[in-house]
Structure 1
């Protein structure tokens, strides 16, 4: 049986000698890919925006989107701003939306989705009662920030998680400010930060947290990918037009 082909844009920043967060993003790229494969989907790492022959797109984590892409503050404390990465991620997302190809975004992927639909980002989250940023574990690694989110009724996410409140692993210092056109918040943290979105018309969903983080229950880790797989299979099963 031929599995649906899912594009994942490569991470273009070299983690050697860079910010530890770059190394983490590169390391967990494979973990995200494994969760896609667990849904009987074939992952192909790509370096162009050509989606010919693809059935879905997954936008993984990574560095910050250039603030100039959304009218933000170019002097803000951002990290790993990579124009080539922004161009690849935004161009391939535009191609997917144009073709009606399902999209799943994870962490940076959610931020890319929001910017692509005309939304803006908080360049650097202020302190709140909810921890979002990962911290050093003292051994050269990072520890996730764990917190609860409320999941909206009548959302694809709610359908797969089967709960109104879940605990997730975060590792981000940016977040959605103004929602992009057509995007609906489907999960929100206690401090009001949007933690998941879906598009009202396009087959697009994204989560701000890291479902691949160690310690996430298996069913919860799989949930966003299961919702994405449902979109992929629904598109493949739909009758051809024309």
Structure 2
């Protein structure tokens, strides 16, 4: 049996001459793809919202979603708002949902899922006791990661995979879920209440706000969302074969 084919929508913003965060998002795209491949899944970068012949979808990180998509107002804090990227990510997610395919979101990917299901975003997080946004830059001009604990909900897929209530994660986001999208459950939170992971109540969909691909993440924590996703992919594939 061939490896399951997993679609990842291309990043459409060019890093040259842009906000340094654009370059970072484009660079870590490959790191996310490697974590998918580590679960013996075949990654295909796509530019069209058609998932015919695919077994799952991974939505990676990137810039901010246009606040108009969820009834917000664009502020100076928003960066790399790209109408083409929004259109691609939201359309390909809708195709995955229509087909019942497993979906994994990472950072922006979580936000895309929430907005697609009728939720909203906090356009710029207020300061709190948890540093979600790095305060400085590392050598080479790339943003450093902030690190903090998240609490995993009992009976969640991530909690079952990690067998832990608290895990340390790498953070690099200035936005977060406001109102939760329809059908979504909160399965991880930071100490300040920011939603850090979601799972769908009935569809094979999960997402994390943190960056499992960040260097320094514990191997089990880095792998966990992708292991859960791979299990969903294989279960969905076997159901299709059986039918």
User: TM-score scaled by structure 1?
Assistant: 0.98
Give the conservation status (yes or no) of the 8 Å contact 1:198–1:206: yes
Give the conservation status (yes or no) of the 8 Å contact 2:21–2:142: no
Query: Alpha-carbon deviations, 1:71-121, whole Å to 9, x = none?
Result: 011235200000000000000000000000000000000000000000000
Q: Please, which runs of 5 or more residues in structure 1 have no aligned partner?
A: none
CA distance in 2, matches of 1:73, 1:130: 25
Q: CA deviation at 1:142?
A: 1.4
Q: Report the counterpart of residue 102 of structure 1 in structure 2.
A: 102
CA distance in 2, matches of 1:100, 1:223: 22
Q: Report the counterpart of residue 164 of structure 1 in structure 2.
A: 165
The answer on 1:67 being equivalent to 2:67 is yes
- What is the DSSP-based 3-state SS (H/G/I as helix, E as strand, rest coil) of the residue aligned with 1:88? helix
Query: Alpha-carbon deviations, 1:134-186, whole Å to 9, x = none?
Result: 33125412110000000001111111111000000000000001100000000
CA distance in 2, matches of 1:25, 1:220: 20
Q: Please, which runs of 5 or more residues in structure 2 have no aligned partner?
A: none
The list of structure 1 runs, each at least 4 consecutive aligned residues, that deviate by more than 4 angstroms after superposition, is: 239-242
Q: Report the counterpart of residue 83 of structure 1 in structure 2.
A: 83
Q: Report the counterpart of residue 207 of structure 2 in structure 1.
A: 206
Give the conservation status (yes or no) of the 8 Å contact 1:76–1:123: no
Q: CA deviation at 1:219?
A: 1.2
CA distance in 1, matches of 2:47, 2:187: 30
Q: Report the counterpart of residue 230 of structure 1 in structure 2.
A: 231
Say what the alpha-carbon RMSD is for the aligned residues: 1.2
Give the conservation status (yes or no) of the 8 Å contact 2:70–2:119: yes
Give the conservation status (yes or no) of the 8 Å contact 1:10–1:47: yes
Give the conservation status (yes or no) of the 8 Å contact 1:70–1:119: yes
User: TM-score scaled by structure 2?
Assistant: 0.97
